[in-house]
């Protein structure tokens, strides 16, 4: 189901809670909502559709891939400054991102995973993880 994008900063600034298997139902709505906004959407956090679980979806290739309870366990020393847009607000904002990250997370079946990400995908993951922390970019 396609959901409305939350634009209320007060709601978006609340930290997400750790997701459980019972929260996995929201992934389908997140992917549907991301696909409905695909011309301007490369990632989405659950709080952007009104959910409190720590779940993000990130466009990797043709697909939006869910990362449940993502946690950066390593990152590069190298950083870069970039301007990012967001579905939840107008315009762009400057931020600093790591060039590469290693992320532990659970997949859509709640299996543990660990993966390295670089470039634009790493940037999107960091942006969506900021949403989980209540940080608005």
**Phi, psi of 135, deg, nearest 5:** -95, 125
Going by C-alpha positions, the residue among 68, 131, 71, 59 that lies closest to residue 102 is 71
Which is catalytic among the residues 28, 39, 83, 128? 128
How far apart, in whole angstroms, are the C-alpha atoms of residue 106 and residue 124? 17
Nearest 10 degrees: Cα torsion 82, 86, 92, 93: -60
**Measuring CA to CA, how many Å separate 102 from each of 41, 50, 83, 115, 116?**
23, 27, 22, 6, 4
> Residue 39 catalytic?
no
Q: Are 30 and 43 in contact (CB under 8 A)?
A: no
- Catalytically active residues are 128
């Amino acid at each position: 189901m396609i959901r409305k994008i939350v634009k209320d900063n007060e709601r978006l600034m609340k930290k997400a809670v750790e997701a459980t298997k019972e929260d996995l139902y929201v992934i389908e709505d997140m992917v549907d909502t991301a696909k409905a906004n695909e011309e301007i959407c490369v990632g989405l956090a659950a709080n952007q559709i009104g959910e409190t679980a720590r779940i993000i979806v990130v466009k990797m290739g043709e697909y939006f891939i869910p990362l449940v309870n993502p946690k950066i366990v390593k990152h590069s020393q190298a950083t870069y400054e970039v301007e990012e847009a967001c579905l939840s607000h107008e315009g762009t904002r400057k931020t600093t991102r790591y060039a590469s990250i290693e992320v532990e997370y659970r997949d859509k079946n709640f299996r543990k995973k660990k993966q390295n990400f670089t470039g634009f995908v790493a940037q999107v993951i960091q942006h969506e993880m900021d949403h989980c922390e209540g940080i608005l970019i």
